[in-house]
Structure 1
Amino acid sequence: MFDDSATEGDDLLIINLDYEWERRNWMRWLHCSESELRLAVETMGPDADNVRRFLRQAA
């Protein structure tokens, strides 16, 4: 049987804007508004570290 557990943790670092609950969680964790989160993801892609850096520089 194929074990895909190595990639499960990587999904935690990817921001998915498709779900309201996930957007809300990321906004809480990153201390930003939804529009700031959307702009950061559109600019930097869905990688949480890149989005976090973008938001810090914008502040």
Structure 2
Amino acid sequence: MSDNTSKTGLDRKLISLEEDYEVRDWSKSLGCTPDQLREAVKAVGNSADAVREYLGKK
């Protein structure tokens, strides 16, 4: 998620691990732990759709 408010559409499609609040919010949204989120992003990249698919297979 970007802090640039003009790019909010992109925020919903890409996962950023740079800010603690973003990791917290994405973890809550996806129903996983922060460590699981980091593992998923490392495995498939920062696309929210790809991470959802990855987490769904586990």
Bin of the TM-score, shorter chain as denominator length? 0.7 to 0.9
* Equivalent-residue separation in structure 2 for 1:12 and 1:51 (angstroms): 12
The list of structure 1 runs, each at least 4 consecutive aligned residues, that deviate by more than 3 angstroms after superposition, is none
Q: TM-score, normalised by structure 2?
A: 0.83
The Cα offsets for residues 24-51 of structure 1, whole Å up to 9 and x where unpaired, read as 0000000000110000000000000000
Unaligned runs of at least 5 residues, structure 1: none
Match for residue 36 of structure 2? 36
Q: Provide the aligned C-alpha RMSD in A.
A: 1.0
Between structure 1 and structure 2, the one with the greater Rg is 1
1:56 aligns with 2:45: no
Number of corresponding residues? 52
TM-score, normalised by the number of residues in structure 1 = 0.82
Structure 2 unaligned residues grouped into runs of 5+:
1-5
How far apart are residue 13 of structure 1 and its match? 1.0
Q: Once the two structures are aligned, what percentage of the paired residues are identical?
A: 38
